Structure 1
């Protein structure tokens, strides 16, 4: 694992272009949209999820992917309209829910990384997502 202040660069496939930087919020779990997030505050409300009660608003959300109904994209679209969307999304499992979700959320999104984001990124790390170049830069803040 990287030391505090160390920078690691991963390459992947950008899905929605753009560049964003922010604090990482990391979970190895998939996130349910309908009934799993509260778009007004941009937080996870799924009762058994490890991020329950935490806000993804303005953060780089690093997660496995989307689960549940096709309402997933609608919930994240609403978070964008309410100003509480993530700054960017980094995920590992592609499906139709997340493909549509990242498009309607209008945030830089990247997948298919050449390293394991769950081993290299911790909640609180500074992450820069350059989806135009397919590049993810991680600056470790923890020890």
Structure 2
């Protein structure tokens, strides 16, 4: 299936999808050294986002979260791509700085279509999500 979306940060990323219905804060919510979600109250707690296509409603928290995403890219612990239902400036800035493909506003309800570990490709050059 192919879903249209808005491009935030260009590039292509592919991998197993990791789905959350809750927004994610990268500052204090994700360990940039390991790529694991460390926010104990988040549904993804203990899971690694490294190399995954991360599907979240959006981000939350401090603007420093952008730098956490950038650090994750330098540490090779970043997601392969990010899909937000509705992007906000913190994650968008981090993805752009880190060179992580990112899209938002998918034309279909991805939370109803995608399940953890499904193989997903984000083509943030063409504004397409394929699975």
* TM > 0.5: yes
How far apart in 2 are the matches of 1:89 and 1:37?
A: 14
1:34 maps onto 2:27 in alignment: yes
How far apart in 1 are the matches of 2:119 and 2:10?
A: 19
SS in 1 for 2:55: strand
TM-score for the superposition, normalised by structure 2: 0.96
How far apart in 1 are the matches of 2:26 and 2:99?
A: 16
Select the structure of larger CA radius of gyration. 1
Query: For residue 132 of structure 1, what is the aligned residue in structure 2?
Result: 125
Query: For residue 88 of structure 1, what is the aligned residue in structure 2?
Result: 81
- Between Structure 1 and Structure 2, how many residues are aligned? 131
1:23 maps onto 2:35 in alignment: no
Structure 2 unaligned residues grouped into runs of 5+ = none
How far apart in 2 are the matches of 1:60 and 1:105?
A: 15
**Aligned with residue 107 of structure 2, among 108, 114, 123:** 114
1:49 maps onto 2:42 in alignment: yes
Query: For residue 95 of structure 2, what is the aligned residue in structure 1?
Result: 102
TM-score for the superposition, normalised by structure 1: 0.88
Larger % of strand: which? 1
Q: Which segment drifts farther, 39-48 or 102-111?
A: 102-111
State the 1:93 CA deviation. 1.9
Structure 1 unaligned residues grouped into runs of 5+ = 1-7, 139-143
Q: CA RMSD in A?
A: 0.9
State the 1:105 CA deviation. 2.2
Q: Hey, which bits of structure 1, 4+ residues long, moved more than 3 A? A: none
Q: Is the 8 A contact 2:9 2:92 kept in 1?
A: no
How far apart in 1 are the matches of 2:43 and 2:106?
A: 23
